């Protein structure tokens, strides 16, 4: 293969000014520089397509197997001669070219397509391109399948929690839904709603036994900062929960701070951060399976707080209760500001917010079901990480001919 400038084979086309109405979901994805931003009822580009981050997440590459619309923060790839080049191959190929380094140096930094066009590379024949893309896409399809399974598992757990602890249709002594089958309900003047007879009310703080502060340590070994850890930030919570990438950095802390290590059934809560449209308070439940995904112990950063519960059997109840509160926007009303940074008024919230305290035997039953669901989720995420490592190991070798496909 002879080297050729990529601008002779492909071009980066500007995306479009498009507004995504969050209330009106369509069938066609809209891609920004950082992936899908929403769905609309029309599209600008036929499938398959490659999207390249132009502003923001510069050089980030995405692929669409459906007709799509790229926004004006992204480019989309156009192949000049489809008899020579395969779109899916270019999706993988572009990931090796370091496009994120090709800064336009304008007032708003972005990807310079002119610089990208000058990159000289060796490009295999189309038949080989298709073989390479087919191999690599099999890894991605398996990852996508695992992610779909996890989404369904999480939906099952949330639905079960809602039926049992919000709608009060947990199984009665005959295995029938309690409230719907005429189970006795009692009006509570504080909650302003009916709750099952025998249930009580309390505060979130009654679940909590103790808390651990965060740590940030040092980037490298320095003096007595020699204990290697993985530091969980608020930005890593979604990734560890299975929605996105994990960027938790490796840090070094003092040996005496081992008591900050995260343990199974600890809960990490984001205390500082958020945005105008996102409150603080994102939560992460630590499990054995999650800890096994890392070679170093986990701690949380200074912008988070870790709590331990009075009884670990309440862990999944606490998680889904807290998630429900977070998703409803309640925590926006429990935030203060320090130097422009939003802070969750955690102690005040957990000691004053009144909740319905579920029956212990029901909590234990939910724990068993949710535990099994979360084990499956974490095992799928662990498998994904191994698949990604193998795919990324093979990617450059397939591209440069070190490994060939028969």
> What confidence category does residue 106 fall into, taking pLDDT thresholds of 50, 70 and 90?
low
Give the single-character DSSP code of 174.
T
| Chain region(s) in the chain for CATH 1.10.287.1120 | 124-172+359-406
| Chain region(s) in the chain for CATH 3.90.220.20 | 3-123, 200-357
| Encoded tokens for 363 | 């909590």
Does residue 48 have a cis peptide bond before it, meaning omega lies within 30 degrees of 0?
Answer: yes
What would the pLDDT profile of 131-184 be if each residue is shown by its tens digit?
A: 999 999 999 999 999 999 999 999 999 999 999 999 999 999 999 999 999 999
Which of helix, strand or coil describes residue 66? coil
Q: What is the pTM of this model?
A: 0.86
* CATH topology (fold) of 3-123: Adenine-n6-DNA-methyltransferase TaqI; Chain A, domain 2 (3.90.220)
Distance CA 125, CA 118 (A): 20
Q: Which residues contact 321 (CB under 8 A, 6 or more apart)?
A: 161, 165, 204, 355
* CATH topology (fold) of 200-357: Adenine-n6-DNA-methyltransferase TaqI; Chain A, domain 2 (3.90.220)
| Encoded tokens for 401 | 């001919």
What would the pLDDT profile of 219-249 be if each residue is shown by its tens digit?
A: 999 999 999 999 999 989 988 988 777 789 9
Q: Does residue 230 contact residue 246 with C-beta atoms inside 8 Å?
A: no
CA triple 384-366-297, angle to 5 deg: 45
Q: Output the CA torsion 80→81→82→87 (10° steps).
A: -40
- CA 252 to chain centroid, in Å, comes to 25
Mean confidence (pLDDT) of the chain: 93
Tell me whether strands 200-203 and 341-344 are parallel, antiparallel or unpaired.
unpaired
Which class does domain 124-172+359-406 fall in?
Answer: mainly alpha
């Amino acid at each position: 293969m002879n080297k050729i400038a990529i601008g002779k084979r492909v071009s980066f086309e500007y995306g479009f000014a498009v507004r995504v109405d969050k209330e009106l979901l369509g069938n066609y994805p809209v891609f920004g520089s950082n992936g899908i931003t929403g769905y609309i009822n029309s599209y600008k580009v036929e499938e398959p397509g490659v999207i390249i981050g132009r502003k923001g997440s510069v050089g980030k590459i995405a692929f669409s197997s459906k007709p799509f619309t790229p926004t004006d923060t992204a480019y989309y790839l156009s192949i000049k001669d489809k008899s020579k080049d395969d779109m899916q191959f270019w999706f993988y190929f572009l990931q090796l070219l370091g496009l994120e380094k090709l800064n336009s140096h304008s007032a708003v930094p972005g990807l310079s397509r002119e610089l990208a066009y000058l990159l000289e590379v060796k490009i295999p024949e189309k038949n080989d391109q298709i073989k390479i893309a087919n191999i690599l896409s099999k890894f991605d399809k398996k990852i996508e399948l695992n992610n779909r399974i996890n989404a369904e598992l999480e939906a099952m757990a949330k639905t079960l929690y809602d039926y049992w602890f919000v709608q009060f249709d947990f199984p009665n002594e005959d295995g029938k839904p309690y409230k719907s089958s005429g189970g006795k309900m009692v009006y509570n003047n504080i909650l302003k709603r009916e709750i099952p007879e025998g249930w009580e009310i309390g505060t979130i703080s009654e679940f909590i036994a103790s808390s651990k502060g965060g740590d940030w340590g040092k980037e490298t070994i320095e003096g007595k900062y020699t204990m290697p850890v993985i530091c969980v930030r608020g930005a890593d919570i979604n990734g560890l929960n299975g929605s996105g990438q994990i960027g938790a950095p490796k840090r070094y802390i003092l040996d005496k701070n081992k008591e900050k290590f995260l343990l199974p059934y600890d809960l990490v809560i984001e205390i500082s951060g958020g945005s105008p449209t996102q409150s603080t308070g994102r939560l992460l439940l630590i499990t054995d399976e999650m800890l096994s995904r890392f070679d170093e112990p986990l701690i949380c950063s200074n912008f988070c707080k870790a709590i331990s519960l009075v009884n670990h059997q309440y862990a999944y109840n606490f998680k889904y209760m807290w998630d429900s509160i977070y998703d409803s926007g309640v925590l926006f009303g429990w935030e203060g500001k320090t130097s422009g940074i939003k802070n969750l008024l955690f102690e005040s919230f957990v000691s004053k917010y009144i909740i319905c305290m579920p029956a212990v035997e029901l909590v234990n039953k939910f724990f068993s079901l949710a535990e099994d669901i979360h084990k499956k989720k974490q095992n799928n995420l662990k498998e994904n990480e191994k698949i990604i490592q193998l795919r990324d190991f093979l990617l450059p070798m397939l591209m440069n001919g070190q490994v060939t496909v028969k």
